[in-house]
Structure 1
Amino acid sequence: MASENVPLVDLRAQYLALKPEIMAAFEEVLEGMQLFIGPRQKAFEQEFATYCGCQYSVGNASGTNALELALRACDIGPGDEVITVSNTFIATVEAIALVGAIPVFVDIDPETYLMDWRQLESVLTPRTRAIVPVHLYGHPVEMQPVMDFARAHGLRVIEDASQAHGATYQGQRVGSFGDVGCFSLYFSKNLGAFGEAGICTTNNADLAEKMRMYRDHGSRVRYLHEVIGSNARMDELQAAVLLIKMPHLERWNAARQAHAQTYTEQLRDVVDAVPVVRDWGSHVYCYYVIQIPQRDQFRAALQEEGIGTNIHYPTPLHLQPACAQYGYKAGMLPVTEALASQIVSLPMYPELTEKQLQHVINTVKKYASSLASNR
């Protein structure tokens, strides 16, 4: 039935709830015609910094820009090595490559799918300059040992928190641990613009000033360019949307957590693995990722029932053609590689109804039952 269709993400439901406020804000922005680095961006930057427990934030044009600006501000450049993970979106590595640095991969924890900090020592070299832990799917990396390792070796830490707006580690929000926290505000994220945007958080005034300069063609004063920068400015229309959405983020995250709890309670004995939440962290479920046998057949079965799914991510970065130059081969990151063939994301967004949730759960159970009877 059409009423039971469940997309992977339903952006329209959120838009309709906020439409009058958003359209009024758009009209105000367009009347004033200050279309970037305007009052709404500055107000949003302040709100987001406060929310994350940071002194400063720097709005920009995308999560990829956020990572690149952070790396540049931390003086990471050609020949420097940056430790990160392969189980992430390619933007994490693109940013490292764009500043001329070299990504060095460690494997992941098989339960959380996040950076295994125990492996950091094994890849440390005299050229290592930074670590980019990725708070993937909405769950934080175990930051204390990462920070301890970084301090012991004089390394920068740049958090990729693109999928973890509001997630906490030991009660402290992600984005506030490292030198810089980087967030994507891509339209489908927990806090999303109407298109593309990003933001960096920091407690370092000098890094904040550098990132502001780099995002605006290397200038603090118009037409005076101190360094070669880029055009990574957040536009004022996106800032208007984000400023309206910001007060709703905690409620939306709570709805995601409630949906995840329902999924987990009903599916933990049905699928091979449900998301793990460590007792030191909170999960904000940008994605709800399970492991399931015969994944392609599973996705087809759900599609027939009107249910959208996705794979985040089917090919690890160290095996991507774009990363061939870094010399990684199949078998070098065994946990990451095994996971990539088994994971699938179920529908997850705050506006999911009880009926939709139950339809997904019932369909997953039906698939699992059918699989068991065919064995």
Structure 2
Amino acid sequence: MSIPFIDLQAQRKVLGEKVSLAIQAVLDRGDFIQGQAVRTFETELAEFTGAAHVVSCANGTDALTLVGMAENLGQGDAVFVPSFTFVATAEAFSLLGVTPVFVDVQPDTYNMDPASLKQAIIDAKQSGLSPRMVVAVDLFGQPADYDQITIIAKENDLIVLADGAQSLGGEVKAKKVGTLADYTTTSFFPAKPLGCYGDGGAIFCENGEKAALLTSLAQHGKGTEKYDNVRIGLNSRLDSLQAAILSVKLSVFAEELDKRQVVADRYTNALHNLVTTPFVKDGYRSAWAQYTLRLENRDALKAHLAERGIPTAVYYPMPLNKQTGYQNDPVVSTGVAASELAAQEVLSLPMHPYLESDVQDQIITAVQDFYG
């Protein structure tokens, strides 16, 4: 039996006809662009997270870029980005002419290291860049240390943006992702904890004027008149079909998060004596986008599991500072050793809410067999 890394079909069976009916409702109305389903989903997502405003858009990368545009970032400005993350976190700002400055991560959570951030801000100022924004990534589903990051940001008059592409549903001391920073962005790529059947993204913020600006920027910079575009914008809209699908998925999302936690706990209880398992800080809740092990002989375990029909994934095999397109961007003067080592040692196991216990036992046994 083939084991899927993420089983979207299992979720589809649970949702039953609800998705089909939601899609049919959009087809019947014919409001495919910025239709009723989009406004409904934005309202539902704001209620779920507690965010004052939710602005949907075409994808998670655009969400980041739109925040940069709303804050008028450009040439000579610096944004501080963890080196150990997906390329979109830096790419979204490089497109605006902004300089990403690569910061190291903490070796246990893989999230931005506040001490490294402090040094990177000093470095950027000394190099003549204008520090503007911290882009903290909630890698694998656990929120970053926003308490410390926010203190540092306020000391340096920086905006804090939470890249919550993997962490929607996560919490810090009962506060949900979407309310932990000045802005939060997320992605609805199908493999995300809350994913659609195409692509989509959203931005969360507390400031109504910024939300209105983001809405304008995501729709060609529109003004009050349909053909009076008052600023340069993007064509970045979540379509109605995807919004309708997301509303259905959001209705079971809280339950799915609980199920992800059960899977994570079973993995950890069975494997923590053999291999480094994920560390979640006290008072934090992970959305468990990934369940990621850490070991020196990563490739050997990956091959061992593949022989037994168990898929794995490496997120990410190369830190951003090593990637060809970003090798000329500045790196914090103290280096990003934790990021570079993590890229050599991480390995993610199958993780989704519908991972049956017998399949999980099969995965656990295979890992245990590797260690003899």
Judge same fold: TM > 0.5, yes or no: yes
3-state DSSP of counterpart to 1:345: strand
Contact residue 66 and residue 183 of structure 1 kept, 8 A: yes
Contact residue 88 and residue 317 of structure 1 kept, 8 A: yes
Shift of 1:16: 2.1
Residue-pair matches, total: 365
Looking at structure 2, the residues matched to 175 and 92 of structure 1 have their Cα atoms a distance apart, in angstroms, of 17
Contact residue 83 and residue 104 of structure 1 kept, 8 A: yes
Aligned residue runs from structure 1 range 87-98, under 5 A: 87-98=84-95
User: Partner letter of residue 308 of structure 1?
Assistant: P
The answer to whether residue 238 in structure 2 is matched with residue 234 in structure 1 is yes
Shift of 1:296: 1.9
The answer to whether residue 361 in structure 2 is matched with residue 364 in structure 1 is no
Aligned residue number for residue 264 of structure 1: 268
User: Partner letter of residue 146 of structure 1?
Assistant: I
Aligned residue runs from structure 1 range 345-356, under 5 A: 345-356=348-359
Looking at structure 1, the residues matched to 60 and 294 of structure 2 have their Cα atoms a distance apart, in angstroms, of 27
Looking at structure 2, the residues matched to 19 and 313 of structure 1 have their Cα atoms a distance apart, in angstroms, of 34
Aligned partner (choices 34, 51, 58) of residue 61 of structure 1: 58
Task: Indicate the larger mover: 331-340 or 195-204.
Answer: 331-340
**Relative to 1, partners in 2 of residues 1:109 and 1:329: Cα closer, same or farther, differing over 3 Å?**
closer
Looking at structure 2, the residues matched to 330 and 296 of structure 1 have their Cα atoms a distance apart, in angstroms, of 30
Q: Deviations over 1:156-215 (max 9, x none)?
A: 111100000111112211221222100011101110010100010000111111110111
Shift of 1:328: 4.8
Task: Indicate the larger mover: 124-133 or 347-356.
Answer: 124-133
Aligned partner (choices 274, 286, 304) of residue 307 of structure 2: 304
Aligned residue number for residue 211 of structure 2: 208
Looking at structure 2, the residues matched to 327 and 56 of structure 1 have their Cα atoms a distance apart, in angstroms, of 34
Aligned partner (choices 153, 174, 184) of residue 181 of structure 1: 184
Aligned residue number for residue 297 of structure 2: 294
Looking at structure 1, the residues matched to 301 and 334 of structure 2 have their Cα atoms a distance apart, in angstroms, of 26
The answer to whether residue 13 in structure 2 is matched with residue 16 in structure 1 is yes
Contact residue 319 and residue 328 of structure 1 kept, 8 A: no
Aligned residue runs from structure 1 range 1-375, under 5 A: 2=1, 5-124=2-121, 125-126=124-125, 127-220=130-223, 221-271=225-275, 273-328=276-331, 332-369=335-372
User: Partner letter of residue 9 of structure 1?
Assistant: I
Shift of 1:280: 2.5
Identity %: 32
Contact residue 103 and residue 331 of structure 2 kept, 8 A: no
3-state DSSP of counterpart to 1:120: helix
User: Partner letter of residue 175 of structure 1?
Assistant: G
User: Partner letter of residue 131 of structure 1?
Assistant: V
User: Partner letter of residue 133 of structure 1?
Assistant: A
Looking at structure 1, the residues matched to 335 and 117 of structure 2 have their Cα atoms a distance apart, in angstroms, of 15
Looking at structure 1, the residues matched to 191 and 287 of structure 2 have their Cα atoms a distance apart, in angstroms, of 14
Unaligned 5+ segments in structure 1 are 370-375
TM-score (norm 1): 0.94
Looking at structure 2, the residues matched to 311 and 330 of structure 1 have their Cα atoms a distance apart, in angstroms, of 27
Structure 1 runs (4+) greater than 2 angstroms displaced = 327-332
3-state DSSP of counterpart to 2:55: strand
Q: Deviations over 1:121-172 (max 9, x none)?
A: 2111441001001011010111111111112221111110000011111221
Calculate the aligned-residue CA RMSD, in Å: 1.5
User: Partner letter of residue 122 of structure 1?
Assistant: Q
Looking at structure 2, the residues matched to 160 and 248 of structure 1 have their Cα atoms a distance apart, in angstroms, of 23
Task: Indicate the larger mover: 326-335 or 148-157.
Answer: 326-335
Contact residue 256 and residue 348 of structure 1 kept, 8 A: yes
3-state DSSP of counterpart to 1:83: strand
Aligned residue number for residue 373 of structure 1: none
Contact residue 82 and residue 129 of structure 1 kept, 8 A: yes
User: Partner letter of residue 313 of structure 1?
Assistant: Y
**Relative to 1, partners in 2 of residues 1:16 and 1:289: Cα closer, same or farther, differing over 3 Å?**
same
Looking at structure 1, the residues matched to 51 and 191 of structure 2 have their Cα atoms a distance apart, in angstroms, of 24
Shift of 1:222: 2.0
Contact residue 46 and residue 57 of structure 1 kept, 8 A: yes
Q: Deviations over 1:279-315 (max 9, x none)?
A: 0311121000001232222112111211110001000
